[in-house]
Amino acid sequence: MTVLSVRQAMAAMGLGGTGNLSVMREVLGFWQGKAPTDPSTNTPVVVSLGQAFTGLSGKHINVNIIKVGFDVLSAGALTVEEAAVDYGIHRTRQIYSGIGLGVGRVGYYWITAAASNGRDDLGSDSESDTLSDEWSVPNDGLDVFCVRSITYDNVLGVSPRPGDCSKGGKSDGMIGGETGRGDPDGWSRTLAHEMGHYLDLPHNHGDTCPTATTARENLMAQTRCCVSTRSSVLLTSGQGSTMRGRCQVRAGS
């Protein structure tokens, strides 16, 4: 077995192997360059390079985090919302590891409030659709738009099911949710839930909430039905098989 240095591994991820590279940012995907804080303990989460490299060795998805309208936030609010996104990446990596799907490269992109034409505060399905239709990142990552707020129909996030296999179509992006909710566990569950839709998972119930606790603890139960935004993140082996079989999933390195 060949042992790679961190720089060699980062180069294999397509991140470059020279220059001033941040393991926390480039490898683990934390924009703030540090381990995010667990809201239940108010202490940094435990992370390791092994988490990232193990995920990359098997099937994995690359992710483009597209922050919309963050330029109008105050310095304090910006720090809070960027911390929420970092925590969401950490939790999604944890949740998906349980069904053998890794989170690989995490890229960050920005759309100013002005350029978004007010769609940093989504007020309708048509605005959500237009935002994801007008913008995309030309690579193999899932385009995940992170907006400051969503103010219609109790919507927390929006995703096509399934998402397009290539860029340029009507279903090549998803609204990962509103980062201004003030609930890091809720935001991170919505992020992982909407990405599940993009990878062809439906809700695990109909118009009414399931009664079985196991069903309510599933990631694909709607938030109004789940037991807890922190604990209701389970996925079945069948759901994992569906996700791993999608065209957006990359083979292991």
Q: Does residue 228 fall inside a structural domain?
A: no
Any domain includes 197: yes
CA angle at 200 for the pair 155 and 220, rounded to the nearest 5°: 50
Q: What per-residue confidence (pLDDT) applies to 20?
A: 59
Query: Is residue 1 assigned to a domain?
Result: no
In angstroms, the CA 148 to CA 109 distance is: 15
Q: Mean pLDDT of residues grouped by 10 in the chain (253 residues)? A: 52 57 83 94 89 79 96 94 95 96 93 94 93 93 94 92 92 90 92 98 96 97 96 98 97 77
Per the domain annotation, does 56 fall within a domain?
Answer: yes
pLDDT at 4: 47
27 phi, psi to nearest 5 deg? -90, -50
pLDDT value for 1: 38
Q: Are 159 and 174 in contact (CB under 8 A)?
A: yes
- Is 230 part of a structural domain of the chain? no
Write down the pLDDT at residue 180.
83
Whichever domain contains 187, its CATH number is: 3.40.390.10
The candidate with the shortest Cα–Cα distance to 201, out of 236, 242, 234, is: 242
Q: Which domain holds residue 85?
A: 28-205
Identify the pLDDT of residue 48: 81
Q: Is 39 exposed, middle or buried (0-12, 13-18, 19+ CB in 10 A)?
A: middle
Q: Give pLDDT, residue 49.
A: 77
User: Residue 173's pLDDT is what?
Assistant: 93
Beta strands in 69-181 (DSSP E): 102-111, 121-122, 142-147, 149-150, 173-178
Tally of structural domains, the chain: 1
Domain assignment present for residue 199? The answer is yes
pLDDT of residue 3: 44
Structure tokens at 162: 């399934």
Rounded CA gap, 177 and 163, in Å? 16
Report yes or no on 159 lying in a domain: yes
Residue 18: the pLDDT is 53
The answer to the question of residue 93 being in a domain is yes
pLDDT at residue 249, as a whole number: 96
pTM metric for this prediction: 0.91
